[in-house]
Structure 1
């Protein structure tokens, strides 16, 4: 082989080597809602953390949390990132699912779900959380995270949850439409959806869930089969996911000595990346501003509040929404992340 031919062959080999990592990417799908609370996942995708681990991640968007759990069980998606529901806990209790990392928490001093009243209900006196008894509240589904949150609000305000008329509406868009039309008296919903309704005068803010309770409302989960058959893939996914959570916390949750959140140029850049997934059809600058104004608390290492998950399951059992046989500890796999809180 002549020198020129040898050199050309060397270049071709080098080029082939440079594309091998892309060719070797393992495809995985994640079920998720278009929520700011999943911002860590979106940042990990946008910043290439998954690709650096050899994973080609496809995001599949849903309109409610429960279908995501079903998608993971069926194998339609390998992972899910969303709020916990009674249906999720029942599936996990049968051995189908495992919680492996945290999503977001309700935490005092940070943004969280908001309770809105319809304009008509507000005019009739529904101006605070203690007045929800006797009113109708729209939720996605019975046993949803919104259902659980309403239960905590009822307990904190001294009224029986049975005094509230729950209206399962199946999806977030239906919840938004119902409060605008006055079909329901109130809803509990994420801030990125609630704030535009309040700003436009289509609903009234009457309370914040984080002022009532702090709890681990969402997480990253996968199937037991995935952990058994592809543990290395799960480990790669979690490593990338943690990097995204850390970036999210730095961008949106850093506080100064006075307790005020401090935003930087990095915050703006991160907000723009998250906004691509939460507000894909909106003007980028406005969408980024909405992201910053609606950022939930997310643990920087995606660590779970284990005791709170056990408390959720106990409450849902008492309400007859989770089967009594479900062992809450068995639905957790804490081996992928160190330092989960309130483990004992």
Structure 2
């Protein structure tokens, strides 16, 4: 759902990305590295920092891996991982939902939580009454027109005593949240605070904000997550564990030294705004693990709570059984 706002990559970038995607087969040479392709969900940002830290510090190499990090094709990371052209990628529990079960189920599994809690919510200009969901009545909300998105919005607005039918839904064309709010082309936007929320702070724009998880516990789902290709996970479980061991070290380093990690990300993606990256990294250092025992752990109760909510509200074509779509077995202790 979050990825509906995807700019179409150029044909050249598409070709490079797909050419970089290996089959994941084990190298036979004694000194050769096993090749892994990891596909992002979007352009590089602080959700991805641990990957770049692991790359820069040689953690993948230490595990005998050669990892290529690529940007997604137009149809996204999920399709590329499902096809086996990439072994791992970034997805989200909500966007995974339609493909978790059924005839058209995608052969992917969430194997690690990038951040422990849902840091998304609704941002608006400060002082205009949208600090709570009911305040969205009569205001312009930029929607992706996705069923799960709108059901969640309706749930939080009506839980706050509001009437969702009074919220003005306009098609989202937002690519820059600061500009969109300042120009008043839109009043409220669904964001991930670690990037777009922090961007408003860096820009000096005063805002109001409420988080979905603070209103309905079912909305404290996992977003984003690292997904793996099921066939690869089954055939190469030890390689998957080595990969996640290196990634875990990368994210732990980003927690311990957010400034240093931000510098590594900016070196890998020099087009990024360094001030924003450093501020975002400072925010995320407390979110990667938060109150969990270790990085990457997916709490079955919280995973199931969200999918049960989808089931109860008829938001998936097929009912999703509990403990479907994720696994903690590849995570290092």
Q: How many Å separate the matches in 2 of 1:136 and 1:63?
A: 31
- Residue 187 of structure 1 deviates from its aligned partner by 0.9
Q: How does 1:82-231 map to 2 (within 5 A)?
A: 82-86=91-95, 88-93=96-101, 94=105, 96-106=107-117, 112-117=119-124, 123=128, 125-140=129-144, 142=146, 150=153, 153-154=156-157, 156-159=159-162, 164=167, 166-167=169-170, 169=172, 173=175, 178-191=180-193, 192-200=195-203, 204-209=207-212, 211-212=214-215, 213=217, 214-231=220-237
Within the candidate set 76, 99, 120, 1:67 is matched to 76
Which SS does the other structure have where 2:40 is aligned? strand
Deviations 1:229-282 (A, max 9, x none): 333322221221222233233x2xxxxxxxxxxxxxx342123224445x6324
Please give the TM-score of this superposition, normalised by the length of structure 1: 0.69
- Residue 102 of structure 1 deviates from its aligned partner by 1.4
Match of 1:6 in 2: none
**Structure with the greater alpha carbon radius of gyration:** 1
Alpha carbons of structure 1 residues 241 and 177: separation in structure 2 relative to 1, 3 Å: same
Q: How does 1:268-307 map to 2 (within 5 A)?
A: 268-276=259-267, 280-282=270-272, 284=274, 287-295=277-285, 297-299=287-289, 300-307=294-301
Q: How many Å separate the matches in 1 of 2:223 and 2:106?
A: 20
Q: How does 1:7-86 map to 2 (within 5 A)?
A: 21=31, 23-33=32-42, 34-62=44-72, 67-86=76-95
Contact 2:124 2:208 in 1 (8 A): yes
Contact 1:37 1:296 in 2 (8 A): no
- Residue 208 of structure 1 deviates from its aligned partner by 3.8
Q: How many Å separate the matches in 2 of 1:63 and 1:207?
A: 32
Contact 1:242 1:301 in 2 (8 A): yes
Consecutive unaligned residues in structure 2, runs of 5 or more: 1-28
Q: How does 1:226-241 map to 2 (within 5 A)?
A: 226-241=232-247
Contact 2:178 2:199 in 1 (8 A): no
- Residue 310 of structure 1 deviates from its aligned partner by 0.8
Alpha carbons of structure 1 residues 134 and 310: separation in structure 2 relative to 1, 3 Å: farther
Alpha carbons of structure 1 residues 335 and 129: separation in structure 2 relative to 1, 3 Å: same
Contact 1:30 1:80 in 2 (8 A): yes
Deviations 1:142-169 (A, max 9, x none): 256x667646643652446565455564
- Residue 89 of structure 1 deviates from its aligned partner by 1.9
Provide the aligned length of Structure 1 versus Structure 2: 293
Contact 1:136 1:185 in 2 (8 A): yes
Which SS does the other structure have where 1:327 is aligned? coil
Which SS does the other structure have where 2:327 is aligned? coil
Q: How many Å separate the matches in 1 of 2:82 and 2:178?
A: 28
